């Protein structure tokens, strides 16, 4: 497993509250998987389509996954 520790900015492509996951559109890496457990907000952990976010990327056997996802205010 390779860790990429750079902070990236992207936009939520879609997120399913029922499934607890979705995808972020990243200019550098295309679609990046995001799980609700990596969303760094208080309360209910969800994201909305088109919402800007900042995150790190983990590259594992399933592909690119976002971690430490935070809302990004433009």
Q: Which residues contact 17 (CB under 8 A, 6 or more apart)?
A: 46
What 3-state DSSP class applies to 36?
Answer: helix
Q: pLDDT digit string (tens) for 12-68?
A: 999 999 999 999 999 899 999 999 999 999 999 999 999 999 999 998 888 999 999
pTM for this entry:
0.87
- Domains of the chain are 2-71 (2.40.50.140)
Q: What is the DSSP letter of 37?
A: G
What per-residue confidence (pLDDT) applies to 62? 82
In this structure, what token pair is assigned to residue 50?
């088109």
């Amino acid at each position: 497993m390779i860790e990429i520790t750079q902070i990236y900015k992207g936009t939520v492509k879609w997120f399913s509250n029922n499934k607890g996951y979705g995808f972020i559109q990243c200019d550098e890496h295309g679609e990046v998987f995001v799980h609700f457990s990596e969303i760094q907000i208080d309360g209910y952990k969800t994201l909305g389509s088109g919402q800007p976010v900042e995150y790190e990327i983990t590259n594992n056997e399933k592909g690119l996954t976002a971690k430490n996802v935070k809302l990004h205010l433009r």
